[in-house]
Amino acid sequence: MNLDSIHIGKVILAGAGPGDPELLTLKTLRYLQQADVVVADRLVSPDILAEYTRPDALIISVGKQYHNNASTPQSVISQLLVTHALEGRLVVRLKGGDVSIFSNVLDELETLSSHGIPYELVPGVTAALGAAAYAGIPLTARGYAASVRFLTSYQPDAGDEKYWHELAHTPDTLVFYMSSAPLDQLVHRLAKEGIAEDRWIAVIEQATTPLQRVSSWPVHQYLAAAAGSEYASPTLVILGRVAALHSSFQWLANSRSREQYFPSVQEQKKIVVC
Ligand code: SAH
């Protein structure tokens, strides 16, 4: 047997941050500069892949997009990591934001572990933290909120009464991922459960990118002002008293452009280098 074939590589499961390449951690940057193979999500800045990887690195884009059949199945992604690591390569699995928030990292960890492949997890700036900072919204501002929750609004018009009642009445800041499409239903549901007049909603499109756009309203005015709005992907929603602080502390001007910062899954497939 060729000795090289028994040298197992390693997989670095890392978060790339929400968009601005400068939000990459130094640790992820160092691994990217060394990587033989980079397996990247759709919501990873194209500039990071272009500027911080080795010119001879194999870059594989495995984007997933909500409501999009072009997604790469998770089993294929996990298998890619195994195949390249078993060939002795240093593989960076780069995810948007943080490595574990609303991601399929568990599946990848289980697959790597079952094959005895060494791995490391490297955190990243999750979209909630990037969007809050770049929109001037302190998530747990003293006197406004004592805690923050990261959620996704799965089926706001169905489900548990108690759950929605509690969400409408909690003083916590609520940050909703993957929730811009059902936003009207979400607001409608919270209004129905009696959400307080002092709660605001901030919608942050393409946070931390040059195309960032933030809109905010008192939650009770949202449906009259913005029902039916379509937001750019990706979009994050911050709901709570703190969302009102955006108008006082916004430090970044809204982009006027409606372009997309992140490539669609189809565009990404065209730029795959493999
Ligand atoms: N692991 C990622 C989240 C993946 S789920 C993280 O930690 O950020 C994908 C969702 O994250 C998107 O639907 C959107 O709600 C949010 N998101 C990711 N990047 C974003 C960005 N730049 N601006 C706004 N929302 C973003």
Contacts with 208 (C-beta within 8 Å, 6 or more apart), sequence order: 17, 18, 19, 20, 23, 130, 131, 133, 134
Question: Which residue's entry shows tokens 């805690």?
Answer: 147
Superfamily of domain 128-249: Tetrapyrrole methylase, C-terminal domain (3.30.950.10)
Does residue 27 carry a catalytic annotation?
no
Ligand 1 first shell, C-beta below 6 A? 18-19, 43, 95-98, 101-103, 126-127, 131, 177-178, 204, 206-208, 234-236
Residue 268 pLDDT: 66
Among protein residues, the one whose CA lies closest to atom 2 of ligand 1: 97
Q: CA nearest 262: which of 11, 6, 17, 9?
A: 17
- Sign of torsion over alpha carbons 15, 265, 91, 152: positive
Choice among 20, 36, 41, 98 that is catalytic: 41
- The pLDDT of residue 102 is above 70: yes
Arch. (CATH architecture) of 3-125? 3-Layer(aba) Sandwich (3.40)
Range list for CATH 3.30.950.10 in the chain: 128-249
Cβ atoms of 177 and 102 closer than 8 Å: yes
Decide if 108 contacts 158 (C-beta within 8 A): no
Share of the chain above pLDDT 90, in %: 85
So what's the pLDDT on residue 274?
A: 42
Q: What pLDDT is recorded for position 63?
A: 79
Q: Which of 36, 64, 95, 172 is catalytic?
A: 64
Contacts of 92 by beta carbon, 8 Å cutoff, 6+ apart? 11, 12, 14, 28, 31, 32, 35, 37, 38, 39
Q: What is the mean pLDDT of residues 135-149?
A: 98
List every span in the chain annotated with CATH 3.40.1010.10: 3-125
